[in-house]
Amino acid sequence: MSTSSTPRVALHLLTGAGQGAVAALWLSAVVLVWGAALLSLIADPTGGGVLVWLYAATVLGGPFALVAATRGLADRQRHRFRRTMGIVIEGPARSSRDGWWGFVDPWRTPSTWRQLLFLLYAIAVDVPGVLLIVAPPAARRLAELDVTMAGALLGPGRTERLAARVESLARSRAEVVEAADTERRRIERDLHDGVQQRLVSLAMNLGMARAALPASPEREVIEAAHDEAVAALQELREFVRGLHPAVLDNRGLDAALSGIAARAPVPVRVEVDVQPRCSPAVEAIAFFTVSEALTNVAKHAGASHARVRAHRAGDRLRIEVHDDGAGGAGIAAGGGLSGLAQRAAAVDGTMSVHSPAGGPTVVTVELPCE
């Protein structure tokens, strides 16, 4: 440990011996009290019902007290490494499953055993190792061993690091989905309030000029320009609606899906029961999923009618799109259904397709809806 001076190593060994001694006292006290209470219960306890209950509570609470002592002492050890050696060791993450201080099934948490093992190491090695202060080379070797053991036992394990990484990636993915949905809303507002209004004004002016001019080559040019403006306005409205329909924000998924069904080229029956509402990002994915699925029905299925059902069960939103078409649909790479599956997976949702030859086809999507 070439970057550590002799005084710094000496301070590290002195504080390590002190904390090792404190750990020995705390752990011994917890174990002795727990053992005494257990023996008292086994050996026909005396002293009345109050003491019996006290012994029982001590026996039941002993393992949890040992967890609290282990984690508290391990925190002090991490603080020691940061102050004396300038080494930051992140503590193992505590999941919601662990509860406060990990008191829910604490001994199944690997970090508890690793931290307890380091405390036993500190008691067995660091306490007598303080004598090596008089031999600086040996003291440095012991400090290096301390750092190695602390990195392996006081920090998060491989499984915990992977779990933390997965959680971080899931959180980042949710933020990306939310940011993309927010950006689509902004573009929809800008197009609706800006470009669309200008096109409406242009179409109106061309319409008035068309009505005012007599038959002439100039009027034919105006008529052609007016028709193009009206067509462009219609295309822009469809594009804006596809970006993020305002009705989805204002009136919810029921009204938005009903609007899709009304514009579909095949008859579509809609059943929606989603109360309370899901998050805006999940509603947007549900909307686009149904929109794309019905587009596929119209283009490829040859169906005479379709049905859309969306309902919430607990914290899951389930969407089903049925059609009586020819069947044979599947989630192929690069296909429309593959895109829907990827969109659902972006929020930890799932998608399945049941489409035997000859039909019917059922596209089922489940999304988290907290």
The CATH architecture annotation of domain 251-368 reads 2-Layer Sandwich (3.30)
Rounded distance between C-alpha atoms, residue 113 and residue 120, angstroms? 11
Amino acid 250: pLDDT: 79
- What local confidence, expressed as pLDDT, does residue 4 receive? 56
Encode the chain (370 residues) as per-residue pLDDT tens digits: 444 578 888 999 999 999 999 999 999 999 998 888 888 878 766 656 677 778 788 888 888 888 889 989 999 999 999 998 888 888 876 554 444 444 445 667 788 888 999 999 999 999 999 998 888 889 889 999 999 999 888 888 777 777 777 777 767 666 666 666 666 667 767 776 777 788 888 888 888 888 888 888 888 888 888 888 888 887 777 676 666 677 777 788 888 888 888 888 889 999 999 888 888 888 888 888 888 888 888 888 888 889 999 999 888 999 999 998 888 887 776 666 777 888 788 788 888 888 888 878 899 999 988 7
Q: Count the neighbouring beta carbons within 10 Å of the beta carbon of residue 123.
A: 20
